[in-house]
Structure 1
């Protein structure tokens, strides 16, 4: 118990002595995690937006005009046999025309001269959640397009591919920038701790002479780095939350109101916890580098 108290008191003393070096370490870690947090919030909300829209995902199969009742029954059976298909709804040519007319109310002049009904019959196919990815939808559309009696298949492929690509790119960019800034934080923490180690060279040498273990010597510095990292990550969360609330106030909405969906939310709790843990890890590793380098000298 006395040893633990000594380690904690020593670490806190080192932080007070570090002055602007310690402030620089905490600030750099905070900036790093602010950037990472921004990317996490953006990609998280884009993912929520996609998830909400996935409930409305439908693959529309347009049928050939000359399809017979027997061919239609066989086609429905083939479509239903696809593992990705959750259910489907058939819309005849007449029903499709009536629906089109309802949607065009007030613009009836556009319907003049249509003559014979040009709108094809179709199957609106609902897809299982596990198949609501760009690649799975592409494969399903290709499979359905090869069936007899099918004229065309649409599933909003451009939108699905575009959003999926944007989310993937943002995650990669956020990871790359976060790693770069994390490395910078690691170096600054390491340099700050190294200054603290050199300032206590004589004390550390005495500890080594009286038989203090490497762990006993390293512990206060490791704790100092962990505290700096935790404070930096915590500061980043405070700044992120403040900016998040200010943004919502500026556009006068509450969380979840953007697009009328569950979008506009802050970081998921597990990401916030992971950021704090990662901050402590960065600080501890930076300290370990400096202390071990000194002890090996």
Structure 2
């Protein structure tokens, strides 16, 4: 089979039903954009909660301009309290090194943050992990001189997960509905292309054309629709990452989203998944259309 013939026939089929083709591409693109956004939110939540690994129950954030006396008073309380099993001091340089390790695949975020932008902190592991005990213990530091904020693991994790689970649910639901619509559009587009060329197909069969010779242009038509929709979705996901997720991660006003970002590696995984789903939907739609409506 000549490549020129294959491309010519596929292009003719797409152009013959251009309105349905555009609708199918946009349906695939929008549905996969919603799915990709939900997946990126999931990765962002995972990254945002990494700082709580190791049994840390709360973090005492110090003001960058806290005096040595204020810092020493907090340190002494943490070291002498029988209710505290372990505390680790993370200065600005150590926090920056950790930040670089966590977001090594996000150079634009690393370029925007300096060591002095990250406040020093004490990461505290109480002897008793009971939520009420941890809350009472952490609240003792909230009004201490030199303390910027006290953040609790349970509150932060639950709030982050609750917020983005709700958003992800609606994104996934919308994505599923639109994927079904996209599948039906691809199916209908190919069926119309087959019906529009029914006489030509009969002639080709009479002169000895093989089944694949007849079917392949229609299957390639569906594949191109899926790939174009997936490409649109990757672009949409990239725009959402830069306009929404990265803005959340770098916002000083929304502490809940601190660390909420995704690495380049995670984004490439999402993009690959979107392309695979787009191809899968296209193959499914075109395969059903060809097998049921193209009698060869």
TM tier, shorter chain?
Answer: 0.5 to 0.7
Per the normalisation by structure 2, the TM-score is 0.60
- Is 1:191 the counterpart of 2:153 in the alignment? no
CA distance, structure 2, for counterparts of residue 121 and residue 245 of structure 1: 43
CA RMSD in angstroms, aligned pairs only: 4.1
Of 195-204 and 153-162, deviating more is 153-162
Q: Give the SS at the match of 1:58.
A: coil
Unaligned 5+ residue runs, structure 1? Answer: 61-96, 104-116, 127-140
Among residues 74, 79, 93, which one is paired with 1:99 in the alignment? 74
- Answer yes or no: is the 8 Å Cα contact 2:25–2:226 preserved in 1: yes
- Cα distance in structure 2, aligned partners of 1:58 and 1:273: 35
Residue correspondence of structure 1 range 149-228 to structure 2 within 5 A = 156-161=153-158, 163-164=160-161, 173-228=170-225
1:218–1:288 Cα contact (<8 Å) kept: no
Contact 2:226–2:281 under 8 Å retained in 1: yes
Q: Measure the CA separation in 2 of the matches of 1:8 and 1:163.
A: 49
CA distance in 1, matches of 2:153, 2:160: 11
Q: Deviations over 1:6-37 (max 9, x none)?
A: 32332122122221111111111111111112
What is the alpha-carbon distance in structure 2 between the residues aligned to residue 145 and residue 225 of structure 1? 56
Question: Using a 3 Å threshold, how does the CA distance of structure 1 residues 261 and 159 change in structure 2: closer, same or farther?
Answer: closer
1:120-178 per-position Cα deviation (integer Å, ceiling 9, x unaligned): 4432399xxxxxxxxxxxxxx9xx889xxxx9678844544554565666555544432
Residue 263 of structure 1, aligned match among 255, 261, 264: 261
2:84 aligned with 1:122, yes or no?
Answer: yes
Shift of 1:191: 0.8
SS for the counterpart of 2:261 is coil
8 Å CA contact retained: 1:59, 1:125: no
Tell me how far 1:225 sits from its aligned partner. 0.5
Per the alignment, residue 292 of structure 2 pairs with 293
Deviations 1:76-117 (A, max 9, x none): xxxxxxxxxxxxxxxxxxxxx9537779xxxxxxxxxxxxx9
Within the alignment, does 1:282 sit opposite 2:281 as a pair?
yes
Aligned residue runs from structure 1 range 72-91, under 5 A: none
Aligned-partner Cα distance in 1 for 2:186–2:289? 9
1:240 aligns with 2:202: no
Deviation of 1:199 (Å)? 0.7
Farther off after superposition, 178-187 or 206-215: 206-215
In structure 2, the partner of 1:133 is: none
1:227, 1:236 → 2: CA distance?
A: 14
Displacement of 1:273 after TM fit? 1.4
**CA deviations over 1:159-216 (Å, ceiling 9, x no partner):** 4455456566655554443222211100011111111111101011222333433333
Residues 162/243 of structure 1: CA separation in 2 closer, same or farther (3 Å cut): closer
Residues matched between the structures, number: 224
Question: CA separation in 2, counterparts of 1:123 and 1:271?
Answer: 40
